[in-house]
Structure formats: C-alpha cells, structure tokens
Chains A and B, each alone.
Chain A
C-alpha cells in the first residue's frame, strides 16, 4: 500500500464533556475524492478543522506526504498545500478575478524604476489558471460581486489550485447553489481529481456524494462508523450508518 497523501491516526478531540472525535482514523490519497458524511454533530467539521490547522487534536497523529506534521494555524496548513474553501468567505467582492486570485501575493513590475502592481499579469495568469481548470468566464475585469455563487466558488477553488494546493477541503461546497451551479462545482471537483489533488468534501446531498466521490466515510457521534468505496455502496446503507441502528 502506498503512503497516503494525508492521514489522521487515532484522533481524539473533546469539548468539555463532549467527545467530538473518538479514535478517528482517516486517510486521503492523491487524486482521490472522499466524501465525509454524518448527521449534525457527528464531528465532521471538527475533523476538517484539525486537518486544516484550526486547532490541534487532543490525541492522535496527523501525517502529510509521509511525514508527521503539527499544524500551528490555518496559514501553516495553507503554506503546506492544505487549503479549505469556506462558503462565501474566500473572496473580496469588490475586486476582480485576477486581484482575488493574487490577493496577498500581488506581482509587481517597474515603470521607470517605480514599482507598480502588475495588473496585466494578474489578469493573464488568472485567465490561464481558470482555463486550465476549464472554468469558463467571459470577463475577468469585473468585481466578482457580479458573478454567480457557483462561479465564485470555482474562483476560490481555482485560486487554491493556482497556489499549489495538494489537499482541498470543502464544507458543503454546493449547499448554497442552484442546480446548474452545483453541476459546475461537481465538474470542477472531477477535474481536480484528474490533476492529482486530494479532495475532502462534506455534504448532506447523497446525490452529490454518489456522483463525485471515490470513497465515503461516515461519522456518527465522533466515531468513524464505516467506510465504503462509492462504487460498492448504496444510499440506504449510508443512511443507516449515519443514523445508526
């Protein structure tokens, strides 16, 4: 068995008396899409917060690209290529697509020795980055406010990939979107998979889960109660695992 891209071993996390995670083990391979399923309060968000550096586990080990890692904070995780897309918090609405993709890392050029921001390059590279992911946008020079929720989601994902994210974590990526927009995001997840990115996504939508994931991991009350390759799973079984009994 090859070394997984990311692995969480025997993770425990308590909040006061609540055991949010109990001895949870989780792995993700490169180019794999794992759906994290479970009822409210099952511990899904807690698990991805540990993986994305929001807080450390009480016990257990996190391994990334074959090495144990301690993630001090989300910036730390992002620097290593573990990127989390939060619903609608990722983009500055008033800036255009290029400015958003380069936010915090703007390229500069010199005009008569004076440094100025290289907007032309930001826009051109943004165009290439989005094209490579087959994200179609007819204009890149407008504030992203003018774009739809799905397009914005795609740009946030495109930015993460452009900056070399190897693991992409999405909490309910399609929840706030209309059906055509959901398709767009699902299609994007498929193309990420082809380029070797590992994707973890939380969803309540079984259709999405079965549509795009390779493996389904079910949490219940902080425990990993079952994992199935999506090909071999059926919806009834997953629901039974989620609710117990």
Chain B
C-alpha cells in the first residue's frame, strides 16, 4: 500500500470539510426556521422567514453576539475560553462614548469618532494582554484568569460610566449603528467584513494554523518550535479587540455606551461557537460554523419574540442548546477513536 496520488490531488477537500463539519448546525438552523415558519403560519397565518424585515432583524440580532464570537472562536479552538469579553465590550462602549463626548467639540463628528474607536481599541487591549500573559506565561487556567478579568472589566466599566449609561450623539456613529447601505444594515456589513478578514486569518495563515495546533497539542506545538506563548497572547488580544468593535457598534445602535452592554452576549457568543461545531476541548471549529451558530441563536431569540413567548425563555432556550451541543461534542469524542488525556 502506498500513498495514493489521487488523494493528494484533491486540494479542495479542506475547504469542503469545513462546511461539512458545520453540517449538523446547518440542519439545526433549517429545522428551527421550518419550525417557526409552521408555528407562525398555523397561529397567525403569517410567514416568518419570507419577510424581508424579519430577515433583516435576525441579521442585526446576530451581529452583536457574532462579533464577540469571532474572537471567542479563535480562543476556543486554541483550547481556552474568554469569559471577560462581555464586559470588555461594555468597557469599550463606555470609553468610546466618553471620549467622543469629550472630543466632539474640537474634533467634529468624524474626528471624535476616530478618537473614540482608537480609545476603545486601546482600552480593550489591556484586558486582552493581561488575559494572555496570565494564561500563557503564568499558566493560569483560562476559565479562572478571564473570570477574574470579567470582574475587573466590569468594575472599571461602571466606574468610567459613573454607574449609569453614557449617551453619545454622533451622526456618523449612529449611521454605523442604524444606517443601511442599499437594503443592508451597516452593522451587518461591518460584521461581514470582520468575518471575512478573520476567516482568512484563521484558515489561510500560519497564525491560524498554530491556533489549531496549540488546541490539538500544546506539547507538539512547542516541540515544532511554535511561539506558543506569543500566539496565545495575540489570541486574547484578538478576542478583546473583537469585543471592542462590538462595543463601538453597540454605542452606535443605542446612541449610548453602557457597562452592561455585553453582559447577556457572553452566553450567546459561547453558544454560537459551540453550536457551530467548535470543541471546548480545543483543536476544532471554524468561523463558518460560528456564523451558523450565531444565526441559530438569533433565530431562536427573534423567533420566540415573534411568536409571543416571554423574553426570558430566550435564556433558557440558548442555555439548553449550549448544553446539548457540548453533550454531542463529548459523545462524538468518545466514539471517534483515540482521545488524548
């Protein structure tokens, strides 16, 4: 038996397998949409999904958790988790709003927007770097390190906000948050651009490859000469920055920064990643999967509102879906041959 060259000549396989790995999530998304469609037709005689305004709402709904989930996908593939993103997002939203308010007189709408975005990015880098160093250099378990940072970012965000929300009035920011280009909301465009760029980073570059390698085996990565510590620090910075983008867009959507902006989104973002097929054991996952996962979360949330279910059921539903996804992942690892300790 020797290497079959036919297999070698199939370069597209990797691209396809990324989509197939998300196959379960596709099915689930389809089933959900069909379920809500039937319910909607039977109960109200109205369509759920063949309604442009519903589709647009679901897309906008999906952007906020998706932005957090983009960074979270990288972190989870590497075998970590970032619990601090929700409050990093809130901190970024508050800081961006304060800076824009403070500079709008001198810099105008555009200048103060740039200043606010830069400030949000800079302030988000701090928890990102600290998380990364704690985990990479001091070997603190990611769960604990980022939980500590969750507390720190939360406290600082409320302090910066003076315990309240920070209204902000900037026309360009509002356009980012609520405007449309053609029929497409700007937040959806921005999120799509971020997705594209980071999909490239994850699937086509060495950095992305090392994220998978570290999640698969930290030892093997070290032995292959990969700068595991450096990659890990950059991962948590990436996660914090994707939360900062979420924070700025939040301030645009609601014309205000709020410390608690990202609080409910932590659950949603982790849900998107694990529903999308990433394993919490590390080593697997794709941004395509995360996108579908975020759409599933958004369809559940928007659909439940649409059929008049009390909004608190959304948390229950998303929580249950996370648990089921993790159970499926675990059972697959048990049946799927070797499992390393």
* Alpha-carbon separation in the docked complex, A163 to B303 (Å): 55
Give 1 or 0 for each of A74-92: 1 = CB within 8 Å of chain B CB: 1100100000001011111
Given contacts A74-B223, A78-B225, A95-B212, 20 further A-B contacts (CB under 8 A): A90-B223, A92-B213, A92-B221, A95-B213, A99-B213, A103-B220, A104-B221, A115-B204, A115-B205, A116-B205, A120-B8, A124-B8, A130-B3, A131-B3, A134-B2, A136-B2, A137-B3, A139-B4, A139-B7, A141-B7
For B221, the chain A residues whose CB sits under 8 A away are 92, 103-104
Partner-B contacts on A (CB < 8 A): 74-75, 78, 86, 88-96, 99-100, 103-104, 106, 108, 114-117, 119-120, 123-124, 127, 130-131, 134, 136-141, 145-146
Query: Distance (Å) between the CB of B126 and the closest chain A CB?
Result: 30
For B205, the chain A residues whose CB sits under 8 A away are 115-117
Asked whether B224 lies within 8 Å of A103 as measured between CB atoms, the reply is: yes
Asked whether A119 lies within 8 Å of B216 as measured between CB atoms, the reply is: no
Q: Can you name 14 A-B residue pairings with CB atoms under 8 Å?
A: A86-B223, A90-B220, A92-B212, A94-B216, A94-B284, A95-B209, A95-B216, A100-B220, A106-B209, A138-B1, A139-B7, A140-B3, A141-B7, A145-B338
* Alpha-carbon separation in the docked complex, A127 to B4 (Å): 8
Asked whether A93 lies within 8 Å of B206 as measured between CB atoms, the reply is: no
Answer whether residue B219 sits at the interface, using C-beta atoms and an 8 A cutoff: yes
* Alpha-carbon separation in the docked complex, A74 to B206 (Å): 23
* Alpha-carbon separation in the docked complex, A146 to B4 (Å): 17
Answer whether residue B337 sits at the interface, using C-beta atoms and an 8 A cutoff: yes
Answer whether residue B340 sits at the interface, using C-beta atoms and an 8 A cutoff: yes
Q: Which residue of B lies closest to A88 (CB)?
A: B340
Asked whether A92 lies within 8 Å of B217 as measured between CB atoms, the reply is: yes
Asked whether A141 lies within 8 Å of B13 as measured between CB atoms, the reply is: yes
Indicate whether A127 sits within 8 Å of B212 (C-beta atoms), given known contacts A93-B283, A117-B206.
Answer: no
Answer whether residue B334 sits at the interface, using C-beta atoms and an 8 A cutoff: no
Asked whether B14 lies within 8 Å of A119 as measured between CB atoms, the reply is: yes
* Alpha-carbon separation in the docked complex, A116 to B224 (Å): 20
For A106, the chain B residues whose CB sits under 8 A away are 206, 209
Asked whether A99 lies within 8 Å of B209 as measured between CB atoms, the reply is: yes
Asked whether B3 lies within 8 Å of A94 as measured between CB atoms, the reply is: no
Query: Distance (Å) between the CB of A6 and the closest chain B CB?
Result: 20
* Alpha-carbon separation in the docked complex, A96 to B1 (Å): 19
Ordered nearest first, which 9 A-B pairs have the shortest CB separation? A92-B216, A94-B216, A94-B283, A104-B224, A136-B1, A116-B204, A103-B224, A120-B11, A127-B3
Indicate whether A103 sits within 8 Å of B226 (C-beta atoms), given known contacts A89-B219, A94-B216.
Answer: yes
Query: Distance (Å) between the CB of B338 and the closest chain A CB?
Result: 5
* Alpha-carbon separation in the docked complex, A127 to B5 (Å): 8
* Alpha-carbon separation in the docked complex, A116 to B223 (Å): 24
Answer whether residue B215 sits at the interface, using C-beta atoms and an 8 A cutoff: yes
Q: Within the complex, which residue of A114, A127, A130, A141 is in contact with B14, where a contact is CB–CB below 8 Å? A: A141
* Alpha-carbon separation in the docked complex, A49 to B340 (Å): 25
Asked whether A131 lies within 8 Å of B212 as measured between CB atoms, the reply is: no
